[in-house]
Amino acid sequence: MLSTMQDDQLSLANLLRHGSKLYADSEVITWTGGEARRETYGEVGKHSAQLANALRGLGVTGDQRVGTFMWNNAEHLAAYLAIPAMGAVLHTLNIRLFPEQLVFVANHAEDHVVIVDGTLVPLFAKQLPEMKTVRHVIVANGDPASLEAPAGVQVHSYDELVSGQPETFDWPEIDERSAAAMCYTSGTTGDPKGVVYSHRSIWLHSMQVCMTDSMRLDQSDKALVIVPMFHAMSWGMPYAAMMVGASMIMPDRFLQPEPIAQILAAERPTFAGAVPTIWQGLLQHLEANPQDISHLREVVVGGSAAPPAMMHTFEEKYGVPILHAWGMTETSPLGSVARPPASATGQEAWEYRYTQGRFPASVRARLINDAGEEVPWDGESVGELEVKGPWIAASYYGGIEVDPDKFHDGWLRTGDVGKITPDGFLTLTDRAKDVIKSGGEWISSVDLENHVMSHPAVAEAAVIGVPDEKWDERPLVAVVVREGQQVTAEELREYLQDKVAKWQLPEHWSFVDEVPKTSVGKFDKKRLRSAHAEGKLDIRHF
Ligand code: AMP
């Protein structure tokens, strides 16, 4: 028997209409380094309509892809709303991707238009000639004349293009299962992989983000959205905030501890989200420059493990609880949130809060061991985490080759290894692969190894992540020099300059006689890590 309920579609056009009308006075505040720019959600609605009209005017139709190469700001929010609401697909380009990967993702997604922040034009301009499908570039908050257009590409000023456009748009009815937005994730090997979110998945995810046991966002909140809109959809905060009328503070390019402290003092947000690196940096800044931050009712931390010591300092010294959460680009990204059971108090509650968190009703989870068997949720048995749910990816976009087991029998293999308590709290113990998490971004150890090993004097190179106070982890390269050859760490670092992004350049180097190997001849990074932890490696630091 079919239900008698309406089949109304969960579309971002409805979200935009709702947020901009019912919460017309809520604000998006963009930090500028000086006086903040303020826009009400009512104005966001009008600007989104103007942007949609402008994009239509450039010929954007159907599900064409519109890329953004932007910081978190009001213009990026308008793009987040206008592009999916008009039926097109928002593609958030990660400004930190290595140039070749940036070109790859723009071509793979077939971006037709890209909106670029003025300050990012120099970074974007170098790769634009290789982006084969881009016909229009819109420069926001900057001078379009600063971008030299290759043949066949028109460059526009955002302000000129958008101002004068009608402030309403006839938003189409959209099938909730159609693509709304896409984001590429760069893993250890191979090309970046595109995750395509639907209107439905974003809607359901936004509801979960706002729920009391998740981020608890509501209309009284002022959320400081530090986590980039080009990485895992800013943890879903922009859409969730629009849904409930929470105001947003966007830091634009001002992500260092000092400006973050200034934003906190000036705007007194009630909520904020960022990777541990940002909070560690802020803590150090506050040590030297004390300031009241107790207006923050809570901050959410994820992307890599939140160090317990940091959680304690925040809460006990500054009165700000940290909420630990786990997720990935493929999970929209909210996968689990560490709110302790109501009955837990004192240290018991802390123990729950250190974990990666408990799964919400829509996220099913299981742990699979090396033999391919499910292991029990007993808080001890370890396995690879697999998840399933309405905002979890079922495949990657456009035939990217991945391990065929990545999405087996309808579950996503996360590559994360851990254990789960009987009441559903996940603790990650390891990563199945050995990517290095630096400041919330991935560094592929395999990539670095391959580049170092391409040097003629190098026989072998293995890269591991070593703990770093500021960036969580930084790469350490263990190098075996070929017999009869000589090379210094300086020369190898120099050699990498034009091969990897600058922020990926390793600053720790160690020359070893051999890289420890596993029984099947693979680099044994576990042993390398222990050697490092035990201080057995002779390291040249930069
Ligand atoms: P990304 O898709 O770039 O957001 O990265 C997702 C990966 O980050 C996950 O698969 C985990 O390995 C890692 N990660 C995310 N949140 C946490 C967390 N709270 N603790 C430890 N690792 C995390």
Structural domains in the chain (count): 2
Which residues, at least 6 apart from 172, have a Cβ–Cβ distance to it below 8 Å?
13, 86, 87
**Residue 185 is among the residues annotated as catalytic for this protein:** yes
Ligand 1 close to Cβ of residue 356 (< 6 A): yes
- Of residues 462, 472, 451, 458, the one with CA closest to residue 531: 462
**Residue 437 is among the residues annotated as catalytic for this protein:** yes
Please identify, among 198, 216, 248, the residue that sits at the C-terminal boundary of a domain: 198
Q: Which domain holds residue 46?
A: 12-198
**Residue 75 is among the residues annotated as catalytic for this protein:** no
Which ligand 1 atom sits nearest the alpha carbon of residue 302? 19
Question: What's the CA gap between 207 and 205, in Å, rounded?
Answer: 5
Three-point CA angle 534, 535, 536, nearest 5°: 90
Question: Atom 1 in ligand 1: which residue has the minimum CA distance?
Answer: 328
Residue 400 lies inside a defined structural domain of this protein: no
153-185 confidence digits (pLDDT tens): 999 999 999 999 999 999 999 999 999 999 998
Q: How far is the CA of 416 from the centre of ligand 1 (A)?
A: 8
Q: How far is the CA of 325 from the centre of ligand 1 (A)?
A: 9
Residue type, position 197, single letter: Y
What pLDDT score does 5 carry? 97
Q: Which of 176, 330, 441, 473 is catalytic?
A: 330
Ligand 1 close to Cβ of residue 234 (< 6 A): no
268-296 confidence digits (pLDDT tens): 999 999 998 899 889 989 999 999 999 99
Question: What's the CA gap between 353 and 343, in Å, rounded?
Answer: 13
Which ligand 1 atom sits nearest the alpha carbon of residue 185? 2
Ligand 1 close to Cβ of residue 428 (< 6 A): yes
Please identify, among 170, 198, 226, the residue that sits at the C-terminal boundary of a domain: 198
H or E element, residue 66 = strand 65-69
Q: How far is the CA of 305 from the centre of ligand 1 (A)?
A: 8
Strands 271-274 and 298-301: parallel
Residue 326 lies inside a defined structural domain of this protein: no
Among 183, 233, 278, 328, name the best residue to mutate to test ligand 1's pocket (greatest count of ligand atoms within 8 A of Cβ): 328
Ligand 1 close to Cβ of residue 302 (< 6 A): yes
Cα separation values, 350 from 238, 280, 311, Å: 29, 19, 9
Q: How far is the CA of 331 from the centre of ligand 1 (A)?
A: 10
Residue 213 lies inside a defined structural domain of this protein: no
Question: What's the CA gap between 18 and 288, in Å, rounded?
Answer: 44
Residue 265 lies inside a defined structural domain of this protein: no
The CB-side HSE value for 481 (13 A sphere, CA atoms) comes to 12
Ligand 1 close to Cβ of residue 273 (< 6 A): no
Question: What's the CA gap between 126 and 130, in Å, rounded?
Answer: 9
Residue 303 lies inside a defined structural domain of this protein: no
What pLDDT score does 430 carry? 64
Question: Atom 4 in ligand 1: which residue has the minimum CA distance?
Answer: 328
Ligand 1 close to Cβ of residue 304 (< 6 A): yes
Contact 221, 247 (CB under 8 A): yes
Residue 418 lies inside a defined structural domain of this protein: no
What number of residues does the chain have?
542
Instruction: Give the CATH number of the domain where residue 89 resides.
Output: 3.40.50.12780
Classify each residue of 74-106 as buried b or exposed e, where b means 16 or more C-beta atoms within 10 Å of its C-beta.
bbbbbbbbbbbbbbbbbbbbbbbbbeebbbbbb
Q: Which of 30, 68, 92, 185 is catalytic?
A: 185
Ligand 1 close to Cβ of residue 26 (< 6 A): no
Residue 99 lies inside a defined structural domain of this protein: yes
What pLDDT score does 303 carry? 87
What pLDDT score does 386 carry? 97
Contact 389, 365 (CB under 8 A): no
Residue 240 lies inside a defined structural domain of this protein: no
Question: What's the CA gap between 359 and 89, in Å, rounded?
Answer: 29
Residue type, position 432, single letter: A
Q: From the centroid of its chain, how far is CA 439? A: 11
Q: How far is the CA of 130 from the centre of ligand 1 (A)?
A: 31
Please identify, among 171, 198, 225, the residue that sits at the C-terminal boundary of a domain: 198
Ligand 1 close to Cβ of residue 335 (< 6 A): no
DSSP assignment letter at 433? S
Instruction: Give the CATH number of the domain where residue 455 resides.
Output: 3.30.300.30
Q: What is the mean pLDDT of each run of 10 residues along the chain (542 residues)?
A: 96 98 98 95 98 98 98 98 98 91 96 98 97 98 95 98 97 97 77 94 98 98 97 97 98 97 98 91 93 98 86 96 97 98 97 97 94 94 94 89 77 92 90 76 76 88 91 93 93 94 94 77 79 93 90
